[in-house]
Each structure stands twice: as C-alpha cells, then as structure tokens.
Amino acid sequence: MTEAQHVIRQVSSRIVYSNPWMTVREDAIEHPDGSPGLYGYVAKPDFVLIVPEEDDGFHLVEEYRYPIGRRSWSFPQGSAEADTREDEARRELVEETGLQAGLLRYLGRMDNAHGMTGQGLHVYVATGLTRGEPHREHTEQDMRQRWVHRTEFEQMILDGVVSDSSSVAAYLLWRLRRA
C-alpha cells in the first residue's frame, strides 16, 4: 500500500465560525477504507517566534492569556504571512520588547498543533540586540518583559512557569541547532 492510499479524502467542507483571527471548519471526510467521518479544525495563519538571545540567556515576555486564565512567560511571537515572515519577526521583537536584532537567523518550521490546526510556527533567533522602547499593541498593554539566564529559563520550563509549548519547542530547536 502506497502512502497516497493512506490519505483521508475531503468530501465537503463548511465554515462553522469565523472572525478576523481564525476560522473553524468542519469537513466531511472519507477514510482510506471508504468509511465516512467528520473532522473539525481551526484555520489560522502561520506565526513567527523569536528567540532573543543575549549573554547566555534570553529576553522573555509575559502577559495574561485569556484561554488559559493566567499570565504566561514566552518568547515574543505573532502572526505572519509567508512573504513577510522575516520582517514580521523583526517587527514583533521591537513591538513586544523594544529590542532590534542586528542578526536574525531562521531556525526552522514546526507544526503548532497538528491534530487541530494546519498552523505553522517559524522560529528565528535574534542576536546583536539593541535596546529601545517597545511599541505594543493595545491588546498587549499588560505585557512585561525580562531577561533570564539560560539555566533559569530551563528551570522555568521544569517548574511550569514557561508552559507555552511553542516556546519550549523553539528552545529545543535552538539547542539542537547550536550543538
């Protein structure tokens, strides 16, 4: 059996809900054996995540995240279209932290939550940082930032203080690319 024979076939698709940030779709599908099924998923644009590296540590941001009902530390991140990803990574870094990257290096792409969305995560590392004032969006008015040493960041992950899966995955990618 070839890989193509294992593909789920879309029979129909409908939008269940939509707003400027996401669309929820429901697809009637057919499994490889011909049996029918239903698949719901969220359509969102890809996003960039920036690892601002400096002095064996990182600059993090913290803000209240409504879906989880608490504040959360993470690397700066934001939506980006394919043709503007590097520009958007630079813009998000300045917007959220005030830092400008002297060098921005692409680390790779990962699937954000492959069981519920096709959204991709594009990871960049920013070095040669120059400080400035953040230019946060209105929705980021409660955002804070701070620099943490790499060992403190690892402990924050272990303690559940950094629980953003994208930031944890980006850190692993950063570590593997460094090795």
Which pLDDT tens digit goes with each residue over 55-100? 999 999 999 999 999 999 999 999 988 789 999 999 999 999 999 9
* CA distance linking residue 35 with residue 81, whole number of Å: 36
* Interval 131-156: pLDDT, tens: 999 989 888 889 999 999 999 999 99
What is the average per-residue pLDDT within 4-31?
A: 92
Q: Which two tokens stand for residue 76?
A: 């700066």
Q: How far from each other are the two terminal CA atoms of the chain, in whole angstroms?
A: 38
Per this entry, what is the length of the chain?
Answer: 179
Q: Which residues contact 75 (CB under 8 A, 6 or more apart)?
A: 49, 50, 51, 52, 58, 60, 61, 164, 166, 167, 170, 171
As a whole number of angstroms, the distance between CA 54 and CA 128 comes to 8
Distance of alpha carbon 32 from the chain centroid? 32
47-178 CATH, one of 3.90.79.10, 3.40.50.2000, 3.40.50.10320, 3.40.50.970: 3.90.79.10
Sort residue 160 into left (φ over 0), alpha (ψ -120 to 50) or beta.
left
Residue ranges, CATH 3.90.79.10, the chain: 47-178
